[in-house]
Amino acid sequence: QTLLDMFTEKKEETAPVRIAISGWVDRIRRESKYMVFLVLRDGSNYVQCVLRGPMAQSLLARSLRRECTVCVCGDAVYDERAVTDVEVRGRTISLLGAAPSDFEGRVRVEGLEAFPHRHLLLRTQKYAKTLRLRSIAVHAFRNHLMGKGMVEVTPPTLVNTHCEGGSSLFEVDYYGKPAYLTQSSQLYLETACPAVGDCFCMLPSYRAEKSRTRRHVSEFMHLETEHPFCTFDDLLTVIEDMVCGVVDTVKAEAGPLLESLNQDVPSPQKPFKRMTHTEAIDWLREHEVYKDEEAKTFYTYGDDIPEAPERKMIDAIGEPVFLIKFPASLKSFYMKKCPGEPLLTESVDLLVPGVGEIVGGSMRMHEYGPTMDAFEANGLPPEQYHWYTDMRKYGAYPHGGCGLGVGRFLTWLFGLHSIKEVIMYPRTVDIISP
Ligand code: 4AD
Ligand code: MG
């Protein structure tokens, strides 16, 4: 039981409790020469402290400012006027660390210029809330998947293979040989299925994304799952259950905190609407979303749907949608073709309002012959993938899986504008520090 629980339950009946509290000065209000109110932040919560009389007049009290660290000893009492219903009536105060006077100015900067100050911004309410809620959500994902009996594995993130196409690879010098930061752990995750069955991993993936959008970063937390002997329908159910399950858990564990960040928390309903890529193109045509606004040309069935029209569509629909059966020409080499429709793949993107794609998944091509043909068609050297192609020799099995961008999921859940707001230190084409 925390001090706060004790006071909020027992209210006025509680006798004062002598405590010492160390923390950062979050707010100061100088009521008069003889009375100073401080709100201290110790990371776990906020608490109001009041300094009276000579304490308020001391040199120390007069020099205090935002972000100084102090230790206040005093009597904690219930007081519903205080931020967290507790007031600490200070008896002594000591300064642990001073702070310059420019904090407020540094955290008020906006746009790209704000990123050099991110380490200070983290202390402000919005970012502190996103860090805390992110932690709850990440645990909820793990608990959800482990609750289904799935095993978490840890593939390497330094690799010498592609997964999602050559254009977004970060190359590194690996002891004189080329290697890459992984784009996705999927291929390695597939190799764990014959050992442990359904499995998942949550690791960073890297993409050299040169475009500046509000949902692309160069490093993102990637939650990937893989399921032996599943069907395409099973895969969609796995994604639906996971997304709804985690939203419910975060609401149950931190509803008020989440609502203080997002007045319009999503309530996804199962089953999610399903729409084929063909139907999505039809939707864009019917709603006069043009491929070329000036020439008034329409999207056609083989076209990739870029971010802007995708978001226009999903915002208009206003609920999560499984976009399925993408043309093979738009998707990765490993995807299984639709039975009887060799130009289409058993693939899925989960779109949500405000963000667009948050999950990408598919059934995997699992027979040896077609897999080798796909390597050839995509110009991938099969020797480097010997461990991957071996899976098609040693007991091939139908399977599928998905990758969820944790940052994008949280952007949606928290109702924020940009993925950069839910990542502690985002990495983009413009940002590598702090
Ligand atoms: O759709 P993607 O590229 O799919 C894969 O990587 C598959 N190998 C996953 C799998 O089946 N195991 O990426 C999956 C998800 C996207 O839906 C998106 O949420 C996120 O990863 N993502 C990014 N998030 C932020 N910034 C980027 N640059 C991202 N690229 C992908
Ligand atoms: Mg994708």
pLDDT for 397-425, tens place per residue?
Answer: 999 999 999 999 999 999 999 999 999 99
Cis peptide before 434 (omega within 30 of 0): yes
Token pair, residue 47, equals: 């608490």
In this structure, are 153 and 290 located in the same domain? yes
Q: What is the pLDDT confidence band of residue 392, given thresholds at 50, 70 and 90?
A: very high
Residue 371 lies in a domain: yes
Q: Is residue 170's pLDDT more than 60?
A: yes
The pLDDT of residue 10: 62
In this structure, are 143 and 74 located in the same domain? no
Ligand 1 atom 2: the closest Cα is on which residue? 360
Q: Is residue 289's pLDDT more than 90?
A: yes
In this structure, are 146 and 25 located in the same domain? no
Segment 378-384 shows an average pLDDT of: 93
In this structure, are 87 and 226 located in the same domain? no
Listed in sequence order, the residues at least 6 apart from 427 whose beta carbon sits closer than 8 Å to its beta carbon are 217, 218, 219
Q: Is residue 319's pLDDT more than 60?
A: yes
The pairing of strands 321-324 and 273-276 is: parallel
User: Higher-confidence residue: 6 or 316?
Assistant: 316
- Cα separation values, 210 from 46, 118, 163, 282, Å: 40, 22, 18, 30
Ligand 1 atom 11: the closest Cα is on which residue? 402
The pLDDT of residue 62: 94
The pLDDT of residue 416: 98
User: Higher-confidence residue: 84 or 266?
Assistant: 266
Q: Is residue 4's pLDDT more than 80?
A: no
Question: Which of 357, 423, 431 for a ligand 1 pocket mutation test, highest count of atoms within 8 Å of Cβ?
Answer: 357
Residue 168 lies in a domain: yes
Residue 407 lies in a domain: yes
Q: Is residue 1's pLDDT more than 60?
A: no
Token pair, residue 36, equals: 């100073």
Q: What is the pLDDT confidence band of residue 211, given thresholds at 50, 70 and 90?
A: confident
Residue 299 lies in a domain: yes
Q: What is the pLDDT confidence band of residue 277, given thresholds at 50, 70 and 90?
A: very high
Q: Is residue 14's pLDDT more than 90?
A: no
In this structure, are 25 and 133 located in the same domain? no
Q: Helices (H) and strands (E) in the chain — how many of each?
A: 13, 18
Question: How far is 160 from 121, CA to CA, in rounded Å?
Answer: 37
Q: Which of 40, 68, 101 is the last residue of a domain?
A: 101
Residue 433 lies in a domain: no
In this structure, are 310 and 284 located in the same domain? yes
Distance 105 CA to ligand 2 centre (A): 39
Q: What is the pLDDT confidence band of residue 174, given thresholds at 50, 70 and 90?
A: very high
User: Which ligand 1 atom sits closest to the C-alpha of 217?
Assistant: 26
In this structure, are 16 and 150 located in the same domain? no
- pLDDT tens by residue, 97-153: 999 999 999 999 999 999 999 999 999 999 999 999 999 999 999 999 999 999 999
User: Which ligand 1 atom sits closest to the C-alpha of 357?
Assistant: 17
Ligand 1 atom 26: the closest Cα is on which residue? 216
Q: Which of 36, 71, 101 is the last residue of a domain?
A: 101
Range of the domain at 91: 3-101
Q: What is the pLDDT confidence band of residue 15, given thresholds at 50, 70 and 90?
A: confident
Residue 112 lies in a domain: no
- pLDDT tens by residue, 320-342: 999 999 999 999 999 999 999 99
The pLDDT of residue 424: 98
In this structure, are 97 and 213 located in the same domain? no
CATH number of the structural domain spanning residue 42: 2.40.50.140
Ligand 1 atom 23: the closest Cα is on which residue? 405
Per the CB < 8 A criterion, the answer to whether 25 and 67 are in contact is yes
Q: What does residue 350 show for φ and ψ, rounded to 5 degrees?
A: -95, 120
Question: Which of 163, 164, 411, 413 for a ligand 1 pocket mutation test, highest count of atoms within 8 Å of Cβ?
Answer: 164
Q: Is residue 3's pLDDT more than 70?
A: no
Reading phi first (left if > 0) and then psi (alpha if -120 to 50, else beta), residue 338 is in beta
Question: How far is 395 from 385, CA to CA, in rounded Å?
Answer: 17
Residue 109 lies in a domain: no
Q: Which residues line ligand 1 (CB under 6 A)?
A: 163-164, 184, 186, 207, 209, 216-217, 220, 222, 224, 357-361, 401-403, 405, 407-408, 419
Ligand 1 atom 24: the closest Cα is on which residue? 405
Q: Which of 101, 136, 160 is the last residue of a domain?
A: 101
- Written as one string, the DSSP assignment of 48-74 is EEEEETHHHHSHHHHH--TT-EEEEEE
In this structure, are 72 and 127 located in the same domain? no
- pLDDT tens by residue, 72-94: 999 999 888 999 889 999 999 99
The pLDDT of residue 50: 98
In this structure, which ligand is nearest to the CA of 182?
1
Percent of the chain exceeding pLDDT 70 equals: 97
Distance 170 CA to ligand 2 centre (A): 18
Q: What is the pLDDT confidence band of residue 12, given thresholds at 50, 70 and 90?
A: low
The closest alpha carbon to 264, from 162, 108, 412, belongs to 412
Ligand 1 atom 1: the closest Cα is on which residue? 360
Distance 64 CA to ligand 1 centre (A): 47
In this structure, which ligand is nearest to the CA of 359?
1
In this structure, are 150 and 226 located in the same domain? yes
Domains held by the chain: number: 2
User: Which ligand 1 atom sits closest to the C-alpha of 226?
Assistant: 12
Question: Which of 159, 162, 212, 222 for a ligand 1 pocket mutation test, highest count of atoms within 8 Å of Cβ?
Answer: 222
In this structure, which ligand is nearest to the CA of 419?
1
Tokens 């399925």, residue located: 324
In this structure, which ligand is nearest to the CA of 202?
1
Interface predicted TM-score (ipTM) of this complex, two decimals:
0.99
In this structure, are 376 and 252 located in the same domain? yes
In this structure, are 140 and 252 located in the same domain? yes
